[in-house]
Structure 1
Amino acid sequence: MLSRLGAHLAIGLLKFLALLPYGFVARLGDGLGWLLYQIPSNRKRIVHINLSLCFPEWSAEHREEIAQKHFRHAIRSYVERSVQWFGSAKKLEKLVQVDSEIDLSDPDMPPTLLLGAHFVGIEAGSVFINHALNRQCGALYQPMSNKVLDDVAIAARGRFGADMASRADSARIVLRWLRDHKPVMLGADMDYGARNSTFVPFFGIPTCTLTAVGRLAKVGHAQVVPFIGEVLPNYKGYRLKVFKPWDNYPTGDDDADARRMNAFLEEQIPLIPEQYYWVHKRFKTRPPGEPSVY
């Protein structure tokens, strides 16, 4: 666990990097990712297991290529927290291209759940969609184990007017936000354990998937609008892709609604497979009786 001193040093480094040109910072993170990929690690092993499970048809050479690219992207994403957390609004506006199928500035937007997918650019996308909304919104977060980093992350992610709430305290708060017509940002495509989850296919694998999105949308009478933060090639910044609301959602069937999210990911991940968050143990929780894949 990172010590308080280590956390303060890390924050100081990020603030310093935020002063430097984005292209330099991005290349620094990419180079560090390449270097760390050369060293055997548990995270590297997890990336390969996930890719093998989801894309068994790939050759070993192609899987190795995507794994290395992803590892570089993942490490780079942590280095780029510098500009995402501490860069000015003007700097972010120059770095983020917005490609939205809805009017983010619409003052009459109905109750909305903004569903962020865990691609490596999710941090940039989440911070900037908050800025682009030009209105107060709500956002859920997963608390960090280090209190110093957690406090800084909350302040940075909410600096454009977002109310932040821990995922553990979310349901009551989210429903209140929706009643107040605040758009609510959340991410649900990770393994948070069997509680409030169901097992539905993800690339053909029974996968522990949260049912909260459909339930919150039903009770809060909210539309669900997915978004993706994509890292642009050649160190040009990011693209915030905001999709139109899902039709006929929620259905009221927890399994069908959870499967809808996974189906959306199955459509989007092959477009930029190196950018999905493969370092996460997406298949950590297995159906009863099934052994661990990790």
Structure 2
Amino acid sequence: MRHAATRRSRFPASTTMRTMPGMPRPTFTRSLLTPRHWPAWLGVGAIWLIARLPQRALMWLGRRLGALVRRVPSQRRRIAAANIALCFPELDAAARAALVDANLRDIGLMLVEFALGWMGSKRRMTSISTRIEGLEHLEAARAQGKGVLLVGGHFSHLELCARLVSQRIRIAGMYRRMDSTVFEWVVLRARLDYADAMFEKDDIRGTVKYLRGGGTLWYAPDQDMRSKDTVFVPFFGVPAATITATHHLARMSGALVIPFFHRRLPDGGGYALRLGAPLDGFPGTDVETDTARVNACIEQMVREAPEQYLWVHKRFKTRPPGAPAVY
């Protein structure tokens, strides 16, 4: 384990990788300044100010926001409670309620961490205590000339930790366009400042080409996307509609699949990031088996820090035929 600020990346991107296809850097147009976009710009300004707070003040604000989220009745509380009851049947009612409360408080920290991940300065990133283990697995993949799929889950600090790990290794990501054109311009530019490339979620050709060229792609396949390319495989023992893209991307590109876990340490201790060993024999011949293996990896990550997982997402909104609705 090493502090992220102590050394430059040992994995510089090659010229070939830097010119591979991906989303172009967005250009500014005067239409973004029209009055209908002013509320969005006010939001951007607030995010910029939050990202400039000292770390202690930033985390204090996140905890206060989390306390507010926990107290206000909302649909998100009901979703989190339903997910946790389904995934942790071994917990009694009091323990499940405590986990729901902890998860809702964590949303406040998620909000300020997104601000920091998007708009924090490079100097600020190097000051954040970051422990990374498992880089030897990435080194071995690079020595073989292999691309890498870093497969992880939707934890509250995913945006910040993607930026933190990018200080040590060049990574790309997959991206879904935002509804707000202002936030689309701001966030995509911010991500392209630290990412090797960003690929739209349907840009399979560009993604595969990047991986074949030895690139490293961060990917989180643990949300119910209501896509036709899904199978029902267990997640915490519950059949969950899960996209099969991890299997297909690995098969088409020859990339290794490496589990990538990150968690926030207690008492302001920073963040711990871990790269696991590549999944052996992945991809196999059966897409359902491979997709179930990926879900099992993510489930193991969640069990290490359950309060930091995005339980407010409707993970089980698509149900097997005949199964009752969860939400």
- Give the TM-score normalised by structure 2: 0.83
Following the alignment from structure 1 to structure 2, what is the Cα–Cα distance between the partners of residues 118 and 35?
22
Structure 1 residue aligned with 2:199: 165
Moved more, 116-125 or 219-228: 116-125
Give the residue type in structure 2 aligned to 1:71: L
Residues 221-280 of structure 1, C-alpha deviations (whole Å, 9 max, x = no match): 110112122111113322222222111111121100110011112222222110111010
Q: Which runs of 5+ in 1 are unaligned?
A: none
Q: Distance in 2 between matches of 1:105 and 1:265?
A: 23
One-letter amino acid of the counterpart of residue 5, structure 1: W
Matches within 5 A, 1:44-55: 44-55=77-88
Preserved CA contact (<8 Å) 2:212 2:255: no
Aligned to 1:195: 228
2:173 corresponds in structure 1 to 139
Q: Partners of 1:291 and 1:152 in 2: how far apart? A: 41
User: Do residues 118 (structure 1) and 154 (structure 2) align?
Assistant: yes
Report the CA distance between 1:73 and its aligned residue: 1.0
Q: Indicate how the Cα distance of structure 1 residues 116 and 158 shifts in structure 2: closer, same or farther if over 3 A, else same.
A: farther
Instruction: Give me the whole-angstrom Cα distance separating, in 1, the residues matched to 2:148 and 2:86.
Output: 33
Aligned to 1:98, what secondary structure does the other structure show? strand
Letter in 2 for 1:118: H
Contact residue 96 and residue 240 of structure 1 kept, 8 A:
no
Larger mean CA deviation between 231-240 and 33-42 belongs to 231-240
Q: Which residue of structure 2 aligns with residue 129 of structure 1?
A: 165
In the alignment, the residues of structure 1 paired with residue 265 and residue 133 of structure 2 have an alpha-carbon distance, to the nearest angstrom, of: 16
- Deviation, 1:172, is 0.8
- SS of the aligned residue for 2:135 comes to coil
Q: Post-superposition, which runs of at least 4 consecutive aligned residues in structure 1 deviate over 4 A? A: 104-107
Asked whether the 8 Å contact 1:121–1:228 carries over to 2, the reply is: no
Residues 114 and 157 of structure 2 are in contact (CA less than 8 Å); yes or no, is this contact kept in structure 1?
no
- What is the DSSP-based 3-state SS (H/G/I as helix, E as strand, rest coil) of the residue aligned with 1:226? strand
Q: Which moved more, 1:174-183 or 1:105-114?
A: 105-114
What RMSD in Å do the two structures reach over aligned CA positions?
1.8
In the alignment, the residues of structure 1 paired with residue 78 and residue 172 of structure 2 have an alpha-carbon distance, to the nearest angstrom, of: 35
Bigger CA drift: 230-239 or 107-116? Answer: 107-116
Please report how far the alpha carbon of residue 99 of structure 1 lies from its aligned counterpart in structure 2 after TM superposition. 2.2
Q: Is the 8 A contact 1:97 1:238 kept in 2?
A: yes
1:81 partner amino acid: F
C-alpha distance in 2, partners of 1:164/1:82?
A: 19
Contact 1:140/1:186, CA 8 A, preserved across alignment = yes
Q: Which moved more, 1:3-12 or 1:238-247?
A: 3-12
Hey, what does 1:270 align to over in structure 2?
303
Distance 2:287 2:314 in 1: 23
Asked if 1:183 is matched to 2:220, the reply is: no
* Cα offsets for 1:10-67 (capped at 9, x unmatched): 2111111222111211121111111121111000110000000001121111111111
Instruction: Specify the alignment match of 2:93 in structure 1.
Output: 60
| C-alpha separation in 1, matches of 2:300 and 2:114 | 27
Question: Could you state the TM-score of these two structures normalised by the residue count of structure 1?
Answer: 0.92
> 2:69 is matched with which residue?
36
Give 3-state SS (helix, strand or coil) of 2:96's partner. Answer: helix
Q: Matched residues in 1 for 2:270 and 2:134: separation?
A: 20
Shift of 1:143: 2.0
Alignment deviations for residues 159-189 of structure 1 (CA, whole Å, 9 cap, x no partner): 124211211x221111110122221222111
Contact 1:232 1:239 in 2 (8 A): yes
- The yes-or-no answer on 1:16 pairing with 2:49 is yes
Aligned to 1:148: 182
* Structure 2 residue ranges without an equivalent (≥5): 1-35
Q: Are positions 1:83 and 2:116 aligned together?
A: yes
**What residue identity is the alignment partner of 2:196?**
A
